Amino acid sequence: MPEFKGKFTDLYLKALKVELNKKPPLKEYDLREGNGFGIRVRKTGIITFFYMYHFGDKRRFLNLGIYGPPPDTSLADARQKHAEAFAQVKSGIDPQTPPPEPSPIPNEPERMTVADLKLKYVEHIKTHLVERSVKHQDERLEKHLIPVWSNRQIKDIRRRDAIELIEKIALKKPGAARNVLMAARSMFTYALRREMVEYNPFSEVGLAVPAAMANDRNRTLSDDELKKVVLPYLFSPSGNTIAKKALLLILVTGQRPGEVTGMRKCEINEDWWTIPWQRIKTERRKGKKNPQDHRVYLTSLAKSLLLPFEDYIFPASRGAEGPVRTNALAHNIQFQDPNYLGLPRWTPHDLRRTARTGMAALRIPERHAEAVLNHSMEGVKKIYDRHHYDNEKKAALIKWSKHIEKLIKEMSKR
């Protein structure tokens, strides 16, 4: 049995796999790196990840998957599974205990009305959205759906019904139609995920009613908007601190909202944040060869925004599991008084677009700014440009961060 010290790496495991293919072991053996995380080498040459732990008076073995490319388990996936199981054991939960049977739905789908669904949905969003967001969704559904559909069975609502409803609102108030569409679509998505309905009647309704669709996908925020409105709000002590810190980190790093909200402590190593390719939209495309992780330099300003949690840096609030949801960030912006803090409509993704535009204004080379945002390359560059640009990304993010710090100082002088 070979000796092992330190932590497993992909390089080590790949080299071990090559050796095993040449000469499988005579008997299986285990290698561990700490906290019960290890690999088991089978006589067939297969490598499996495991978590060895004690629960009660018993020693337990949890198989975390076979090492290899998808559909097998990568080292990053195994570490994530181990971290989740380790946290469960620390909390007094055996990760191998079967989950409890879900309680039956009080109202069966065929008897559930729109009014019933609205009540259940509002109780659901109270677990993870800010109070203002819950209040606004509740009011919009109560004002526009309940008077029309209160006693209708949810299974009987068709897309033509949804189009007719949104179209009538859009004739007078396009902005209200957009907000009602968002709330109704979210409510029926909730019902769909719980198998209360077989499809979402509000899906793609925006395409049928263009007046209810947002048309500002090129929105960027100016320096004046940032220092006079956005930054003062995001640095204020009131409101949802988790959501506001996440929004600030999107602006400071230029990363996608979903990548920021899903940030985990295990992804951070001193000044660098490594986003696993499994969480990157452009790397998860079906059939993509050699997906790559993405490294983001964390400036002093960026690190000051990280919350001191042991797993997710921006966890969901109100007892919900996992990270804060990206739609919670949008709700945090949208449901201020006045809407959008008195500015033309803007979204969390607009902060990423603002970072990219700001880097161009600071004369940061286009390729370096594109590397920071992890935009996909095209053509020959996609094949031959394997340079990771760590130094260039670091320089770009430091320059952009100093610009934001300048706006913060100007904001505080007002």
- Write out pLDDT tens, residues 123-140: 998 887 767 778 888 999
CATH superfamily of 10-90: Integrase, DNA-binding domain (3.30.160.390)
Return d(Cα 73, Cα 48) in angstroms, integer.
9
Quick one: angle between helices 241-253 and 326-334, nearest 10?
100
Q: Tell me: the pLDDT tens digits for 18-60?
A: 888 888 888 888 999 888 999 999 888 889 999 999 888 888 8
pLDDT for residue 176: 83
CB 61 within 8 A of CB 50: yes
Q: Rounded to an integer, what is the distance from CA 271 to the centroid of its chain?
A: 21
363: left (phi over 0), alpha (psi -120 to 50) or beta: left
Q: Quick one: pLDDT band at residue 333, thresholds 50, 70, 90?
A: confident
Torsion of CA 258, 35, 13, 27, to 10 degrees: -140
In the chain, domain spans:
10-90, 109-212, 223-413
**Phi–psi pair at 124, nearest 5 degrees:** -65, -45
Top-tier CATH class for 223-413: mainly alpha
CB 368 within 8 A of CB 395: yes
Q: Tell me: the pLDDT tens digits for 149-170?
A: 999 999 999 999 999 999 999 8
C-alpha distances (whole Å) from 99 to each of 93, 96, 160 are: 11, 9, 39
Q: Tell me: the pLDDT tens digits for 72-106?
A: 788 988 888 898 889 888 888 888 887 665 555 55
Return d(Cα 230, Cα 370) in angstroms, integer.
24
Q: Right CATH number for 109-212 from 3.30.420.40, 3.30.70.2190, 3.40.50.300, 1.10.150.130?
A: 1.10.150.130
**DSSP helix/strand/coil, 320:** coil
pLDDT for residue 337: 44
- pTM attached to this predicted model: 0.52
CB 65 within 8 A of CB 76: no
- Residue 274 bridge partners (DSSP): 295
